[in-house]
Amino acid sequence: MELAMLLQWPRRDKHLGAHEYPEFVKIVEVGPRDGLQNEKEIVPTEVKVQLIDRLSDTGLSVIEATSFVSSKWVPQMADHTEVLQGIRKSPNVRYPVLTPNMHGFQNALAAGATEVAVFGSASETFSRKNINCSIDESMLRFEEVLNAAKDQQIPVRGYVSCALGCPHEGPIDPSKVTEVAKRLYEMGCYEVSLGDTVGVGTPGSMAAMLRSVTREVPCRALAVHCHDTYGQALANILTALQMGVCVVDSAVAGLGGCPYAQGSSGNVSTEDVLYMLHGMGIQTGVDLSKMIAVGDFICHSLNRKTNSRVAQARGSQL
Amino acid sequence: IIKYFGSIPRRVKIVEVGPRDGLQNEKTIVPAETKIRLIDMLSDSGLSVIEATSFVSPKWVPQMADQMEVMKGIRRKPGVSYPVLTPNLKGFQAAVEAGASEVAIFGAASELFSKKNINCSVEESLQRFEQVMVAAKAAGVPVRGYVSCVLGCPYEGKVAPAKVAKVAKRLYSMGCYEISLGDTIGVGTPGGMSEMLEAVSKVVPVGALAVHCHDTYGQALANILVALQMGVSVVDSSVGGLGGCPYAQGASGNVATEDVVYMLHGLGIQTGVDLPKLMDAGAFICHSLNRRTSSKVSQATHCKL
């Protein structure tokens, strides 16, 4: 699929009951980055590369490959250069990488990155605790990255964390999420992913937040990144789809626990999202059976059980 | 928000099926005292309906063999209803003798499932239920009707919404005050749920409908949300997500009451349920069963920083 088409969805809707849903939803697979970053076990480079290569064959069009953050902060991603250089780059797939600042951006470029992502927060406290600076300061850093990226014609995706609640501050006002999302979009991010970082959101808070954000950022440039810590992810994703969002982040096998609730789940499973979307007749281009197989592979490598209910059910077929 | 949630009910009744549907599908059999304590704890959590047990032959369902003891041992909280399953007239009579003041009957939308599960056709089962209905009316006992396999059957695969509507209508016209539509193997997704509800609500008023979603494929909360959006205001669930799926070994079954309540309260919907007390009941029964809770809300809450 051409990059231009990917960046600007013409939204076609389908009717199901009283609601309109997109005909196509783009899945952004964050397992190799957000997933592995939040797993206790550090995975060797070859396994990361294999994971990404297998994901490349499932029909996904976007696979977040790694993070160019200092290995002091995120040891799981210390092998970022090797991973990016080791993967087989499928022609129909993009491999964005996280870049917190200019330094990370330059390293990413040198390693062959062709798309990057920057990570803002809707919560001041979370921003300070997570990346050691205020929201405003982080935006200034990102502007630098955006300017450099523009020069290199590298598309940039923006993330807003704590969109439905913060582990430190509690509830987050939708207007704050809108402020940050708008800033990221206006500085040049082609897409803004709104993250329910601690999974506390429910359809009510999702709808309220999106209603606010969509006043300032077009729906087609929005994505939702729901965590399943309280089991609310699919209901929240459904709500987002009803409100016109057509990009969903998820992680194969639901990799990545919640760093704020030890032992709890984190990312929503790609398999479970696909099952819902396909069941509703919404296309994704992704092959569910292949995804389940990839999930099996990485769980085996991590010596852990899958978080995907679909994989559990299919794996225990009659 | 109005456009998306304008028609959702302000109040939802939770029908807690943990002590029956939940325990019936757990490998470990728990003694009567444990069941009684569970039900008593649930009674204190604000629930208004708790399915207590099943008057099915212990030959078929050994987990419910202590039905009499449980029924007589529980503390009946005023304002709380304790329905029991009764597959036929004999079960009904035993239930009434044990003090039951509400019963439930279980039909299927799939012929094959009916044959394999209760050894007779859907029509034959409905005739058995008519007998129960006559006796129940005479005794002034309300009856709830269940329809299983409403979004798919482990044997037949797809199930036509028209078939679900037909069975639901029959149970309702027979006198069931409420019809619980069950996604028995959890295969349904929001599209199928709304299609099925559209068909059923044409022949049974939506106020008399409930959804009983299984979370085997993780779809339960999304399916429940769609049902709420279509005006359904009664949701069945099981504390701790008790009860695996007999058709997919090791997979999950019932949706966890804690997770449903979390979503409903987040939507501003009243349930009357005290979530912390509910979680206590869940923790108790999971400890007794020596198993981890299937409720994500419980897992997250007990793992707080």
**B277 in Cβ contact with B34 (< 8 Å):** no
Find the mean pLDDT for residues B135-164.
96
CB contact under 8 A, B229 and A18: yes
Q: pLDDT band at residue A259, thresholds of 50, 70 and 90?
A: confident
Which residues from A are below 8 Å from B227, CB to CB? none
Q: pLDDT band at residue B218, thresholds of 50, 70 and 90?
A: very high
pLDDT score for B267: 95
What's the whole-model pTM score?
Answer: 0.94
pLDDT score for B304: 45
pLDDT score for B246: 78
- Which of A166, A226, A246, A258 is the catalytic position? A258
Strand partners for A119: A159
Q: pLDDT band at residue A131, thresholds of 50, 70 and 90?
A: confident
**CA angle, residues B255, B260, B266, in degrees to nearest 5:** 160
Rg over CA atoms, chain B: 18
Residue-by-residue DSSP string for B119-136: SS-HHHHHHHHHHHHHHH
CA B231 to chain centre: 18
Which B positions 222-241 lie with beta carbon below 8 A of chain A?
Answer: 222, 224-226, 229-230
Rounded Cα distance between A174 and A211, Å, is 9
How many helices (H) and strands (E) chain B has is answered by 13, 9
Q: Does B74 touch chain A (CB under 8 A)?
A: no
Which amino acid belongs to residue B104?
A: A
**A143 in Cβ contact with A186 (< 8 Å):** no
If DSSP codes are grouped into helix, strand and coil, which group holds residue B274? coil
pLDDT score for A219: 96
Strand partners for B214: B254
If DSSP codes are grouped into helix, strand and coil, which group holds residue A227? strand
Rounded Cα distance between B82 and B79, Å, is 10
Per residue in B32-76, pLDDT (tens digit) is 999 999 999 999 999 999 999 999 988 888 999 999 999 999 999
- Tell me the pairing of strands A222-226 and B234-237: unpaired
Q: Answer yes or no: is pLDDT of B303 > 60.
A: no
CB contact under 8 A, B267 and A202: yes
- Tell me the pairing of strands A13-16 and A19-22: antiparallel
Find the mean pLDDT for residues A215-231.
97
User: In the numeric block, which tokens belong to residue A306?
Assistant: 């899958």
pLDDT score for A71: 87
Q: Answer yes or no: is pLDDT of A9 > 70.
A: no
**B277 in Cβ contact with B45 (< 8 Å):** yes
pLDDT score for B35: 98
Q: Does A15 touch chain B (CB under 8 A)?
A: no
Which amino acid belongs to residue A53?
A: D
By C-alpha distance, the chain A residue nearest B185 is: A313
Q: What is the signed CA dihedral for A275, A281, A284, A289, rounded to 10 degrees?
A: 40
Rounded Cα distance between A220 and A192, Å, is 10
CB contact under 8 A, B266 and A243: no
Q: State the CB neighbour count (10 A cutoff) for residue B260.
A: 28
User: In the numeric block, which tokens belong to residue A188?
Assistant: 């040049």
Q: pLDDT band at residue A40, thresholds of 50, 70 and 90?
A: confident
pLDDT score for A316: 58
Q: Does B304 touch chain A (CB under 8 A)?
A: yes
Q: pLDDT band at residue B305, thresholds of 50, 70 and 90?
A: very low
Q: Does B2 touch chain A (CB under 8 A)?
A: no
Among candidates B1, B222, B245 on the partner chain, residue whose Cβ is nearest the Cβ of A211: B1
Q: What is the signed CA dihedral for B227, B109, B26, B78, rounded to 10 degrees?
A: 60
Looking at the complex, report in whole angstroms how far the Cα of residue A281 sits from the nearest Cα belonging to chain B. 8
Rounded Cα distance between A69 and A54, Å, is 24
In sequence order, which residues have a C-beta less than 8 Å from that of residue A170 and are 6 or more positions away? none
Q: Does A284 touch chain B (CB under 8 A)?
A: no
In sequence order, which residues have a C-beta less than 8 Å from that of residue A186 and are 6 or more positions away? none
Q: What is the enclosing helix (H) or strand (E) of A271?
A: helix A270-279
By C-alpha distance, the chain A residue nearest B227 is: A17
By C-alpha distance, the chain B residue nearest A317 is: B248
Q: Does B154 touch chain A (CB under 8 A)?
A: yes
Helix ranges (H only) for chain B are: 2-5, 23-24, 32-43, 67-73, 89-97, 111-118, 122-139, 161-174, 190-200, 220-229, 257-266, 275-289, 296-302
User: In the numeric block, which tokens belong to residue B133?
Assistant: 């209905």
Q: Does B250 touch chain A (CB under 8 A)?
A: yes
User: In the numeric block, which tokens belong to residue B110?
Assistant: 């799939």
pLDDT score for A174: 98
CB contact under 8 A, A263 and B266: no
pLDDT score for B6: 65
**A99 in Cβ contact with A117 (< 8 Å):** yes
Active site residue B149: no
By C-alpha distance, the chain A residue nearest B218 is: A309
Rounded Cα distance between B19 and B27, Å, is 14
How many angstroms separate the Cα of B58 from the Cα of each of A96, B64, B100? 59, 6, 18
